[in-house]
Structure 1
Amino acid sequence: MPSRADISPVPLSLVEENLPEAAARFGDSFRRTGFAVVEGHGIPADTIGAAWEAAKRFFALPDEVKRRYHQAGGAGQRGYTPFGIETAKGASLSDLKEFWHVGLDLPPGHRFGGIMAPNIWPDEELPEFRPALQALFGALQQTGLRVLKAIAVHLGQPADFFESPVQDGNSILRLLHYPPVSPQADAVRAGAHEDINVITLLLGAEEAGLQLLSRQGEWLEVPAPEGSLVINVGDMLQRQTGGQLPSTTHRVVNPPAERRHLSRYSMPFFLHYRPDWLIEPFVENSAMPPITAHDFLLQRLAEIKLS
């Protein structure tokens, strides 16, 4: 069994009660591990419960029904992506998962309408799916803004620094289903990778399997007490901070033999900058040139074989 990463939960209420303390505690955790664990995230239990139920009901549908909601050529950005497509950067075997993506609902004529595709909804099969996922999307977006406030202060920026860059951001809520694993499986549920976005907020990490790669090259379990929210730094924020906050390699390993017959579900929220935001490192003399969030996303989607 791998050791556990040294990550102590941080109450999210500290952001409002003592912002400098929240900035220090989140900053320390992110700098050391690239991860943080939030307790008391404040997202209502019924909001989370409704989303879990909707996700499980969708993934239980027949394969031919689910595939109606797969958009060929859509880079997996909306709707359903079938089992065995996404592949970790540099890996030869695809991950053992299927997923659904929900993005921001833009009004007609929005300036990002040509970049951020409209959502796809399985209203015919599951009319409760749309409202459940829209509610969770909004709640996670607001939670992410609270964490970004602490990160901004930790980096010596104004507390509202990230509000404009993530407004109308190309954020995605992913519903993940890892089916039971065959004893003969060569691949893992999610191969070693880094996230593309600014920060990721993950519900469902209580189920064992999520591991991070330490700077010493050791795989460590990410401790996630029941009801907590796991957050990790993505490549966009790593680039923006000139590497001060690392986007840590992580994976989801296959369960032990006695649990391989069970599915695993999780719901990561990938919080993104708006497409035209220029990712330009805070630090001077950075070797990384500026790049827009949209161009960066396109590069990375090609690397993981979604486009």
Structure 2
Amino acid sequence: MTVAPVPGVAATGRQPSRSRRPGRPGRLRWLGTLLTTPAWLLLLGAVAVPLAVAGYASLTDESLSSVGPAEVVGAENFSREVLHGGFWHSLRVTVIIMAASLAVQIPIGYVLARALVRPLRGRAVFRTAITLPMMLTPVAVGLMWRFLSDPDLGLTRVAASAFGDSSPVNLLASQFGALALVVGVNSWINIPFVTLILLAGLLSVDEALLESAAVDGAGWWQVERYVRLPMIAPVLGVCCVLRAAADYRMFDLVYTVTRGGPGDATLNLSMLAYQQSMVNFEIGRACAIAVAMAVLALPAYWLFTKVTRP
């Protein structure tokens, strides 16, 4: 039995080649690139240009107290400030503040988020009230807590008087107390942010998975450890990276609460750059500190891209 040839089909049985046209995804990709180009140009001007200026200034002896033109000194500023200055002490202080803040904010934020997920009475009111610290500026919060921690007029004086002690603890005069105060104020203002981020992650968890785990005999801790936490791990990672990046460059709270003291106990990297630029008027050295901070922040950017990658 012979089969009649199909019109338009070659003797080999292959379909004739057709001219390919650009598909819709390709056109959307080019359209997206075109629409985001102005934003990229604005970002380039707002970030790359200041970094380039700071990089050049870090190689000079630019100073606000000098009248003559700045001269190129090469890596001298990096040698003085980064290698032989107080940079590594300020880096250690910065890491301590970052680690302690994350250790406080993430667990408390998770507990609050878990409480807000449950259908409790007044949950909407509590969700609104918990965001109030986020509405305040860090400078106002820092000044408020500095007044509250004053040994003569603050809460420590009231607490000491309530227990019959006439010598209240001066947190601002103690190295550990000053660090604890900075971490506490930083956590007080940022725990609502962590709570909202983790709440969004918890609301996206499929309830069917939780019910299946409970039916299989999993207890409360097993459900949290093996179901909820793995499901919100990407959200938790993004939250940790965002908070660590913010604490890494934190300046306003440290400046308003402790001024970097007592001594250099809370002198983080941002305060060190501020002292060199606005107190000592050494712009070149301050730019060297800023460039070193930017270089050390590159691994955090790489980690953020890994965590947020779909």
User: Looking at CA atoms only, which structure, 1 or 2, has the larger radius of gyration?
Assistant: 2
Name the structure where strand makes up a greater proportion of residues: 1
Fold shared by both chains (TM-score > 0.5): no
Question: Which TM bucket (shorter chain)?
Answer: under 0.3
Q: What's the TM-score once normalised by structure 1's chain length? A: 0.24
Name the structure where helix makes up a greater proportion of residues: 2
